[in-house]
Amino acid sequence: MSELCGIFIVDKPVGVTSQVVIGRLRKVTGIRRIGHCGTLDPLASGVLPVMIGNATKACEYLMDHDKVYVASIRLGVETDTEDITGEVTARHEGALPSFEEFSAAAKTFVGEIDQIPPMYSALKKDGIKLVNLAREGVTVEREPRKVTIHSLETYEEKGEFFLRVHCSRGTYIRTLCADIGKKLGCGACMASLRRTSVGQFDEGQSVPLDELREYTVEQVAEKLIPIETLFAHYPEAKLPAFYAKLYAHGEKITISKFKLQGKVGDRFRVTTPEGRFTVGEISEYHGKLQLGAKMFF
């Protein structure tokens, strides 16, 4: 069997890190070149896309995709981490808002919003992770960042309030919960979190981590999603045989030579004569537009 290359979707359980998932797949496949797309904290469960082999080249691309989360929120409690695992910093005295009040407040966050990243995050300040500063009791000023809440639904189950959030990259759901609490005037923190989709990949395609203990390399291969699916929305560029060979060897081809239409930065799906999938990108050189390989898989 040739070395595996593709996307494997794991359903990460609560209580383990994303790196544990990577370690499990390395043990099963014997492949070191494995990376995940978008860390899930130990508190969170759900969809964790894992790139295997040459597919790791596209990790950053998949991280840019929208995500969907389901979170429960604890009203009346504030913590230093903005989730239930942190130290309690404030408790609300008195009656808590109703579900209707919670729902109305939550839905005001739909659209593009400013969000201040939490101190307990992997973002860096002067080369140091904020979470490391936070653990030393240091708080630094963070600039607000623009994120987009595409849609937000609320529901109640057994007296617990939930959010279903479709959001852009970089959105912190625990910060969203804390901000909803501030808007309500009672404070809040995130009590649980599950990611149900990343881009086009959802929990229906995922393999529970515990099942991986029994998997063989062949079974992993059967579940692999071809890397091409990530780029299905790109138009296909078909090169004449002569230019296709040059392209496959790293040459950039002037697009007017094979009637390709596009502008600088446009990307295309290109398959080499040997059947190798690539992503091509148009660049400019001395006033001429050229197509060259951005990524080989």
Contact in structure between 149 and 56 (CB atoms under 8 Å): no
Amino acid at 132: N
The span from the CA of 12 to the CA of 30, in Å, is 20
Cα gap 269→103, rounded to integer Å: 43
What are phi and psi for residue 184, nearest 5 degrees?
-80, -15
Burial class of 172 by CB neighbour count within 10 A (0 to 12, 13 to 18, 19+): buried
The answer to whether 266 is a known catalytic residue is: no
* β-bridge partners, 120: none
By residue count, the chain amounts to 297
What contacts 36, CB < 8 A, 6 or more positions away? 18, 21, 22, 48, 49, 50, 51, 59
Catalytic position from the list 41, 83, 179, 266? 41
Please state, in angstroms and rounded to a whole number, the distance separating the CA atoms of residues 253 and 259. Answer: 11
Tokens of 239: 């090169």
DSSP string, 95-156: PPPPHHHHHHHHGGG-EEEEEPPPSSSS-EETTEEHHHHHHTT-------EEEEEEEEEEEE
Catalytic residue list: 41
